[in-house]
Structure 1
Amino acid sequence: MQVPMLVTHFLDRGVKFYGPKTCIVDGEKRFTYNQFNERVNRLSNALIAEGVKQGDRVAYIGPNGHRILEAYYGITQIGAILLCINIRLSSEEIAFILNHAGAKVVCVDWEYANLVADVANKLETVTHFMLFTDGHRPEGIDWADYDTLLEEASAERPVRPEMDENDVAELFYTSGTTSRPKGVMLTHRNLYTNALNYIHMLSVTDADTQLHSVPLFHVNGWGSPHGITGSGATHIIVRDFRPQQVLEAIQKEKVTIGAMVPAMVTTLLNYPEADKYDTSLWERMIIGGAPVPISIAREAQEKFGVECYQAYGMTEACPMLTLATLKDNLKKLPFEEQLAYRAKTGKPVFGVELRVVDENGKDIEPNGEDVGEIIVRGNNVMKGFWQDPEATAKVIIDGWLHTGDIANIDKEGYVQIVDRGKDMIISGGENVASAEVEMAIYKFPAIMECAVIGVPDPKWGEAVKALVVLKQDMPATEKEIIDHCATLLSKFKLPRTVDFVSELPKTGTGKLLKRKLREKYWAGHERKVGG
């Protein structure tokens, strides 16, 4: 027997077994599984009334909130495709994505409505706009009110069309660096297998409460909701990341699972009043988007009592590829060595075949030293790029997705990314992994954040430069930081210069934008600026 793996199964299971249980907490709003299911059905019926059919694209533009979870199911259960768009993009970038994807309906939060209104006359396929007002309506925008449409729609589940597990369910556009963004097609099967992995790898049950602090429109955010819903656990949503709001939610809602990027964890650790909150039930935290300094994992466990695990993934892989949970034999190691393993990129999750290969496509030795490119395949890997077979063929070669990430692998099978291929610094003919230098800098007590890039150098081609943000009331000098690195790194890897900055440019999820850092140094030079 073959039954298609559809994301709607996760909602159906949650409703069947946990109907009266709290499903979502969004500020002052609380919804049981039954109430959430009714809103999902109302959204589906409202979209059908607007003429949405199977295969149509429906866009969501807004911050975290219960409505994005409604979109996950209300759009997909009628066979339409959810198109999540990053709220940090410009109006022109949003217009490109909406046109390229051929979106029919746009659901947009009031705070970001002007981004769409500014380019509404350039949108080629959009026929309807649905506005989340929450009591706010920007001037000059007379779009249909989302909640009014839901109130007027039936709460009965619509007839679901026949769907195949290989149908596209969600469409996410990757950020462009030297070219336009590309639409990643994720199928029901991709999302289903990723959700099962999330449930298994984190031992998720209906007793769990997950905090969604990472934007749910982004790769680091949307990897968990289906697994949480299918398990009967509870979603705790914060609209944006503010340390007080996050810590209050962790305490009040008894959060057990969280997902963050390193910059978010650092912000919580440096929040002056962090110690006054009860985080004793917070057991598991997934950290992704950037390498996790061991010092951050240690401090988070000491301050909050939470065990941190590095995760690695990408939009093209739905996203989870590895998770640094410990094998049983590693749990017998001293605490510091366990931390070092939990801060590694991790071991492949179920259903993911992962190799690290050299420039000839040969697997490297698992000695923790040799490096190569990570290539992967599995049921979670994307169908391809939307309307771009040429770009798809450049990254999926002979059935393997080439990630562009440079890594080593140790005898236990744990992968450690040393850099993005485009972030590797070539100085005097030697390869310098920026992530390795960053890890060394993070061991200096005064460092809150840092980024390492290569800058033009007439003698060496590229020189290593560090940009650092210092902790409050903890001064440091360039010489002190370089001398510190000299105790940990080879001479050719040392920063030649250190710039002190008040902040580092980041994406909407807190991931460093090294492209922005490099731009001013490489203007007028031949090296192409990477992402």
Structure 2
Amino acid sequence: MSTAQGHYSIGLDKTPANFVPLSPLSFLERTANIYPNHTSTVYEGRRFTWAETRDRCRRFASWLVRRGIGRGDTVAAMLPNIPAMNEAHFAVPMAGAVLNALNIRLDAASIAFQLDHGGAKIILVDPEFSAVIAEALTVMHGPKPLVIDVDDAAFPGGKRIGELEYEYAVAAGDPGFAGIRPQDEWDAIALGYTSGTTGNPKGVVTHHRGAYLNAVSNILAANLGPHPVYLWTLPMFHCNGWCFPWTLAAAAGVNVCLRKVDPAKIFELIVKHGVTHMAGAPIVYNTLINAPDAPKAGKSRPVVGLIAGAAPPVAVLAGAETIGIKLTHVYGLTEVYGPASVCAEQPGWDDLPAAERAQLKRRQGVPYPLQEAVTVLDPETMQEVPRDGETIGEVMFRGNIVMKGYLKNEKATKEALADGWFHTGDLGVLDQHGYVIIKDRSKDIIISGGENVSSVEVEDILYKHPAILFAAVVAKPDPKWGEVPCAFIELKEGAHATEAEIIAYCREHMPGFKTPKVVVFSAIPKTSTGKIQKFMLRDQVKSAKAISD
């Protein structure tokens, strides 16, 4: 420290008056105090105010503490987008614990691994998932967590498997409980698992500081403004709902809970509650665009939709406008709290033709407002690639909105955070404006006759075909070219197309070496968050069971 700088440190210490560790828990307290009677949550016939939500979170947190839950303990949740799942994002960290929101589409073995690995002491269970949780508990190797049932009148099936019901614990808690604030911003707030397409998934540990900053970044990136009405089309278990439970508390907004993605229900809720914002994967918007009862865009203010994915098809970006949804593309991973970059719009884009505007908006873009950096680097030299839209490198992030690391996996943590950057594994380029454009996952790039073929680029062309609902392109081994593109196609209801027609269509819109050589018509496997499971398609190609040369 220089002598001059030392003058600004002597006797000027951190105290409770001038330093408080950043935590999204402060958002709930502030909003409940300022807007106590403002609606916080609506779900089916239930409605809560922010004061009621704050009190319910305090009650459950105090109950957790009385059951012995404390700093560093893990509380898991197997819940859909219902009020209890939103409340868990506050109540669990208010008890000093770490929330592990489980993917509701997982099988028993995967759930058992995560409960064991994360050491969950308590798990909240919706009746829809009671059977799979009961099975998971039987195959766990370590101590089994206490099960708390979360009844839901909107789902009359299922059965209780727990020791008690959630509302009992809430009622038994103390509404005056002050909560346990983090001792350090670096304290863990959540544990989330990667998709684990090969081997066991990695446990991503995030901290209070990052959750706070990304929650605020969401407000800025999506132009939420005060009191937004947010429809939960994005799973809350996915990267903690991209931090939106905390975002809605900061913005004093309304959580419109939705148990599952249902186009008719979504359109109904948008009108009924005056929804202003939503978020999801391309599959969600594509489903809405192609729904038989999809409304036409009216004169009212469009719903702002955040869309995430490697590169959303132009057809989806343009199509959403026809049903009254204006999409903003964001990009990220579990390791960066969900979205941590945004395709920031520039003045004049709204005046461009729809197709041209959509082409600009599909880029991964620039850093989130409170993220330090996102760029494309040569992984060998760690130098930024030229801004020519051609030179491929690896997309990397740096900043406060990056995970602490992988739980109990020091080797993977060091590799992911090597050289001062988080390595995403995504391949991309930088355009002349410095916007990131993803070309593919490193494992999805197709090398045909020495030429790189971006599966994302081929898919974008396929999505423009009027008969195609979903498309995925993977590499197929070829004795002459090494690899060739193979397209898996899921057609729209009532539509018809042949392999020859699809290949001919592609030849009209792309070079021959990029054109799929094989087309397979089938249902395309997807994750619960709408991501196409390409690893399963690659396995099909390798096994040659579904494809004949």
Question: What range is the shorter-chain TM-score in?
Answer: over 0.9
SS at match of 1:468: strand
Structure 1 residues 388, 352: CA separation in 2 closer, same or farther (over 3 Å shift)? same
Residue 249 of structure 1 and its aligned partner are, at CA, apart by 0.9
Range that drifts further, 155-164 or 92-101: 155-164
Residues 130 and 146, structure 1, Cα contact 8 Å, conserved in 2: yes
Map 1:311-390; keep pairs closer than 5 Å.
311-328=330-347, 330=349, 333-350=352-369, 351-360=371-380, 361-390=382-411
Residues 129 and 158, structure 2, Cα contact 8 Å, conserved in 1: no
Partner of 1:528: none
Pair 1:179-2:196 in alignment: no
Distance 2:209 2:274 in 1: 32
Partner of 1:261: 281
Structure 1 residues 65, 142: CA separation in 2 closer, same or farther (over 3 Å shift)? closer
Map 1:473-512; keep pairs closer than 5 Å.
473-501=494-522, 503-512=523-532
Query: Which whole-Å deviations, capped at 9, do the CAs of 1:173-196 have from their partners, x for residues lacking one?
Result: 112122211110100011111111
Partner of 1:190: 210
Range that drifts further, 40-49 or 211-220: 211-220
Residue 339 of structure 1 and its aligned partner are, at CA, apart by 2.2
Partner of 1:128: 146
Aligned mate of 1:400, from 410, 421, 424:
421
Residue 459 of structure 1 and its aligned partner are, at CA, apart by 2.0
Q: Structure 1: give runs of 5+ residues left out of the alignment.
A: 526-531
**TM-score with structure 2 setting the length:** 0.91
Distance 1:142 1:237 in 2: 24
Question: What letter corresponds to residue 235 of structure 2 in structure 1?
Answer: P
Residues 297 and 322, structure 2, Cα contact 8 Å, conserved in 1: no
Distance 2:355 2:543 in 1: 43
Distance 2:347 2:392 in 1: 26
SS at match of 1:487: helix
Structure 1 residues 133, 332: CA separation in 2 closer, same or farther (over 3 Å shift)? closer
Partner of 1:464: 485
SS at match of 1:328: coil
Residue 147 of structure 1 and its aligned partner are, at CA, apart by 0.9
Distance 1:287 1:369 in 2: 25
Residues 297 and 321, structure 2, Cα contact 8 Å, conserved in 1: no
Residues 305 and 327, structure 2, Cα contact 8 Å, conserved in 1: yes
Structure 1 residues 329, 243: CA separation in 2 closer, same or farther (over 3 Å shift)? closer
Distance 1:187 1:446 in 2: 45
Query: Which whole-Å deviations, capped at 9, do the CAs of 1:289-316 have from their partners, x for residues lacking one?
Result: 3421112211211222x21111101000
Partner of 1:217: 237
Map 1:245-260; keep pairs closer than 5 Å.
245-260=265-280
Partner of 1:529: none
Aligned mate of 1:17, from 34, 50, 53:
34
Query: Which whole-Å deviations, capped at 9, do the CAs of 1:258-283 have from their partners, x for residues lacking one?
Result: 10211111111111112289794443
Query: Which whole-Å deviations, capped at 9, do the CAs of 1:125-159 have from their partners, x for residues lacking one?
Result: 33421111236685583521111121122222244
Pair 1:429-2:444 in alignment: no
Aligned mate of 1:150, from 164, 170, 176:
170
- The percent of aligned pairs where both chains have the same amino acid is 35
Aligned residues: 523
Residues 214 and 220, structure 1, Cα contact 8 Å, conserved in 2: no
Question: What letter corresponds to residue 341 of structure 1 in structure 2?
Answer: L
Question: What letter corresponds to residue 73 of structure 1 in structure 2?
Answer: F
Distance 2:132 2:298 in 1: 39
Distance 1:244 1:317 in 2: 33
Distance 2:310 2:385 in 1: 23
Distance 1:513 1:451 in 2: 9
Distance 1:308 1:375 in 2: 24
Residues 41 and 156, structure 1, Cα contact 8 Å, conserved in 2: yes
Partner of 1:519: 539
Pair 1:101-2:118 in alignment: yes
Pair 1:114-2:135 in alignment: no
Range that drifts further, 139-148 or 271-280: 271-280
Distance 1:123 1:156 in 2: 38
Partner of 2:72: 55
Question: What letter corresponds to residue 66 of structure 1 in structure 2?
Answer: P
Range that drifts further, 477-486 or 224-233: 477-486
Query: Which whole-Å deviations, capped at 9, do the CAs of 1:363-392 have from their partners, x for residues lacking one?
Result: 211111221111110100000001111110
Residues 78 and 158, structure 1, Cα contact 8 Å, conserved in 2: no
Distance 2:207 2:400 in 1: 10
Residue 222 of structure 1 and its aligned partner are, at CA, apart by 3.1
Residue 523 of structure 1 and its aligned partner are, at CA, apart by 3.1
Structure 1 residues 395, 260: CA separation in 2 closer, same or farther (over 3 Å shift)? same
Partner of 2:10: none
SS at match of 1:119: helix
Structure 1 residues 70, 140: CA separation in 2 closer, same or farther (over 3 Å shift)? closer
Residue 359 of structure 1 and its aligned partner are, at CA, apart by 4.3
Structure 1 residues 107, 117: CA separation in 2 closer, same or farther (over 3 Å shift)? same
Partner of 2:13: none
Partner of 1:82: 99
Residues 149 and 160, structure 2, Cα contact 8 Å, conserved in 1: no
Residues 186 and 207, structure 2, Cα contact 8 Å, conserved in 1: yes
The Cα RMSD (Å) is 2.0
Partner of 2:468: 447
Question: What letter corresponds to residue 497 of structure 1 in structure 2?
Answer: V
**TM-score with structure 1 setting the length:** 0.94
Pair 1:310-2:329 in alignment: yes
Residues 58 and 179, structure 2, Cα contact 8 Å, conserved in 1: no
Partner of 2:8: none
Residues 127 and 159, structure 2, Cα contact 8 Å, conserved in 1: no
SS at match of 1:316: helix
Distance 1:524 1:163 in 2: 55
Residues 297 and 323, structure 2, Cα contact 8 Å, conserved in 1: no
Q: Structure 2: give runs of 5+ residues left out of the alignment.
A: 1-17
Distance 1:477 1:237 in 2: 41
Query: Which whole-Å deviations, capped at 9, do the CAs of 1:237-274 have from their partners, x for residues lacking one?
Result: 10011111111111111111110211111111111112
Aligned mate of 1:228, from 223, 245, 248:
248
Aligned mate of 1:43, from 45, 49, 60:
60
Residues 266 and 296, structure 1, Cα contact 8 Å, conserved in 2: yes
Pair 1:287-2:307 in alignment: yes
Residue 474 of structure 1 and its aligned partner are, at CA, apart by 2.9
SS at match of 1:398: helix
